[in-house]
Structure 1
């Protein structure tokens, strides 16, 4: 491999969205004295959000807007209409307070000393800025699909990201825990690294945990990725 840039999926691969959002639902429920399977509610929220943004071209909204708009339907499906507008705002704002996976920060420092590191994400730029500052993540660049106007797995997203990084697709290693992202990147000429995140969806486990056999690299954690790349 002649890799010149490392591009990281950020939601799920770098950020533990499930724990942060599940906690926000549980806190709202506690205020109203209601109990649910908050893990299931959180995953329903995530699935509904992804369904509204994945693969979109030139949408009139970004993922932040989706997080705001789909929550009403999620709460209705789970009998949680008691949640107030303030509760809904608190849950939405929890996206801006997510923690990174514990193994990422140290590995990012190692990797950055060897190669440029780029957040290439469907999350909106403002959210990536907020969570990166919260977690001390220093990217060389952030490329959000909202900037391109094409959301993964649209080929245009990967093609434009490569143009902006001024490298050939075959000189980029796309790092993610999601096959749909890596498969699309590979189809556009990228090399791909699958990093397992077994807790991404909480106790239920990820819906697609097994890496595609065509992945260039498969590792269990970010420390192993850094070691594999000689960082």
Structure 2
């Protein structure tokens, strides 16, 4: 915890989702191997995720108009299938696999941790995922959000300031009364630039056990926690 960075009591905890709340890597491995067991599911998951930022950049640059993440995921999927010998996938298989992002499993601490945090704070998503995706994910995984906010609401992807400041506007609060909870330091840095408090969550296995992340603390964050249960302990929930 960086005590000097917390002059105001936060009222809203806004959560990044992919990697912070849900284990996208293991979930995508499971989904692709259910369709084609011989495929290197780990490499496939990493390749699909690697296309995420370049695809968003096409929208942010104006090359593409506003595009939901579901549709960006499909563009990336179609582009990588031939690399894995899967260009024979039927349209039905492609549609099913593309919605794998709706079926991502939460990390083991998440549901219990969110339930505790919800007892004291309003909890919502702040994800580049679209509303339908996030809602289906929450329904399947039992994620107890008070509100689902998405880049789709603001027609801007993180790290555009419109997303972070948009949460404060939705709840008619000052930015300092909102805390972004995320497992990505770049996301948190952008939120701090907008005046939000920040909590870093360690997810060392986000990219799989073979590619552990550096989860070293950054003193610029208001809080640093191993997982949601540890954050709930720190926030007296």
* Pair 84,206 (structure 1): closer, same or farther in 2 beyond 3 Å: farther
SS of residue matched to 1:114: coil
Q: How far off its partner does 1:203 sit?
A: 2.4
Of the structure 1 ranges 161-170 and 205-214, higher mean CA displacement relative to structure 2 is found in 205-214
Q: Deviations over 1:129-187 (max 9, x none)?
A: 11111122221111101110111001121112211121111111110001121010011
The 5 Å alignment of 1:1-231 reads: 1=6, 2-30=9-37, 35-53=38-56, 56-57=59-60, 59-205=65-211, 209-231=215-237
SS of residue matched to 2:209: helix
Asked if the contact 2:44–2:84 (Cα under 8 Å) also holds between the matched residues in 1, the reply is yes
Q: How far off its partner does 1:74 sit?
A: 1.1
Q: How far off its partner does 1:208 sit?
A: 5.6
Asked if the contact 1:56–1:150 (Cα under 8 Å) also holds between the matched residues in 2, the reply is no
Asked if the contact 2:24–2:101 (Cα under 8 Å) also holds between the matched residues in 1, the reply is yes
- Aligned-residue RMSD, C-alpha: 1.9
Relative to the length of structure 1, the TM-score reads 0.91
In 1, Cα distance between equivalents of 2:12 and 2:109: 20
Of the structure 1 ranges 81-90 and 187-196, higher mean CA displacement relative to structure 2 is found in 81-90
The runs of 5 or more residues in structure 1 that have no matched partner are none
Q: How far off its partner does 1:71 sit?
A: 0.6
Asked if the contact 2:28–2:41 (Cα under 8 Å) also holds between the matched residues in 1, the reply is no
SS of residue matched to 1:163: helix
SS of residue matched to 2:218: coil
Asked if the contact 2:111–2:144 (Cα under 8 Å) also holds between the matched residues in 1, the reply is no
In 1, Cα distance between equivalents of 2:164 and 2:115: 24
* Pair 56,81 (structure 1): closer, same or farther in 2 beyond 3 Å: closer
* Pair 211,84 (structure 1): closer, same or farther in 2 beyond 3 Å: farther
Corresponding residue pairs, total: 227
Relative to the length of structure 2, the TM-score reads 0.89
Asked if the contact 1:48–1:70 (Cα under 8 Å) also holds between the matched residues in 2, the reply is yes
In 2, Cα distance between equivalents of 1:158 and 1:24: 32
* Pair 55,5 (structure 1): closer, same or farther in 2 beyond 3 Å: farther
In 2, Cα distance between equivalents of 1:101 and 1:118: 17
Q: How far off its partner does 1:60 sit?
A: 2.5
Q: How far off its partner does 1:10 sit?
A: 1.2
Q: How far off its partner does 1:99 sit?
A: 1.4
